Structure 1
């Protein structure tokens, strides 16, 4: 399929995108334009196609139909090295080479910028040092990646993606394995990269409230299709949460940011009859 130019203000776009694993269609006829210079976050229930979409945007998965466009050109037609200079991807479950150190893994993010006559430069050194400092992994430099905790490994992989210094950054569940403090730290880092360095970011998150707090552009998916997209204040409503997640909730303003805050309905409680039955069972 020959693609035309991407929508204005969108270097990365998908047109009539259908994605499948063998004979199982996961994403069907999807259109998406990623706003330049913004943080786009994709939300939705498990197995709705979020990570599959991100894999296609990063050219890890070939479309069954439709196309992904980068700067108006089909991604499939662009040389890999050229893509790697513009587009960085952190997949959901990356695998590190056995016994590789943290410093060596982060340094691999610089490979697209190197040439046979110049394998390493001061610019590479600065990029790696900066990426490790921003992800609080400098002290881990000489440690083997496979000896780290899950949270430490996740920060190291994010450092490698940052070291690549691309204008577009795709992150598939970057807060996985992280405690709440490090989740906020990583998402604040994403916000700073966007605001201070103009990086366009697309991230998949499970936490709806974090997505609403950090996204400029929110994309809600269900069953391989986009149900709604736009500013979080426009997208996140009790009706949408019910439609997409099957959850009754109340949406109120976040007391800190003013962004939508999803409060689930009252937890299940045993009624008098259930309580009596439970008491009777205990006595037996």
Structure 2
């Protein structure tokens, strides 16, 4: 079942950038990635999906309902986001930031504290729950924002280069956690990656963007090729198979 569909989407920043997506979709429980050069429109798509930017034309459909027909509270339950960066002017604690993911679910008899602690234990953020968010390292902030998104328990998880500032150990742990959310809880994931190899390892399908358009889409085995990598990123490379996952991996010719 298609949980998200994008049809004939058009968006522009004056004359400097134009985004045109004829059709794009995500199935329920699917892990989908977007890769492409800087300025190709990857983050813009996520902004349009969360109404941070307003489209010029086209449709964004979630669960067969146009995104324009959702209230903010309803949309908060459908989509959660881990942005590249998150800033706050106030000295909120880590627990304050993460707890805000439960706002749409708050009731007099809710047991959100148990949910919040359980997710924070899984992401290893519970140990520094009382620290001030603004004083964390970049990698710690990203872990906090991922935890907040998981606490939100939305149907679709949007990730904008969410492991770009995290060390290799936590990168593996957190991506595996997101993959488990997709498989075990039937959550849909749309993730932007700069790292082609990470996208290939964990994705069911990949969209490759260039110049505001989808140039290629499909399973990693079909579209992570030497020819396409040269066309999209202008790199000389060799494609090898991962010894365990049997997914294509890019080896650069230095």
Q: Specify if TM > 0.5.
A: yes
Cα separation, partners in 2 of 1:84 and 1:25, compared to 1, 3 Å: same
Give the alignment's TM-score, normalised by structure 1: 0.86
Matched, 1:217 2:205: yes
CA distance in 2, matches of 1:29, 1:98: 38
Please list the CA deviations of residues 154-194 of structure 1 after superposition, one character each: whole Å capped at 9, or x if unmatched: 10011111110111111111102111111111111111111
Cα separation, partners in 2 of 1:26 and 1:184, compared to 1, 3 Å: farther
C-alpha contact 2:21 2:214 (8 A) present in aligned 1: no
Aligned to 2:188: 200
Q: CA deviation at 1:40?
A: 0.4
**Superposed, which structure 2 residues align to 1:125-164 within 5 Å?**
125-164=113-152
CA distance in 2, matches of 1:188, 1:96: 28
CA distance in 2, matches of 1:18, 1:157: 29
Q: CA deviation at 1:26?
A: 3.5
User: Which deviates more, 15-24 or 137-146?
Assistant: 15-24
> 145, 168, 179: which one pairs with 1:191?
179
**Superposed, which structure 2 residues align to 1:5-154 within 5 Å?**
9-115=1-107, 118=108, 121-122=110-111, 124-154=112-142
Unaligned regions of 5+ residues in structure 1, if any?
1-8, 268-284
From the CA coordinates, give the structure whose radius of gyration is larger: 1
RMSD: 1.4
Give the alignment's TM-score, normalised by structure 2: 0.96
> 215, 220, 227: which one pairs with 1:232?
220
Q: CA deviation at 1:97?
A: 4.3
C-alpha contact 1:18 1:63 (8 A) present in aligned 2: yes
CA distance in 1, matches of 2:29, 2:196: 22
CA distance in 1, matches of 2:118, 2:86: 21
CA distance in 2, matches of 1:173, 1:225: 19
CA distance in 1, matches of 2:60, 2:78: 14
Matched residues, number: 254
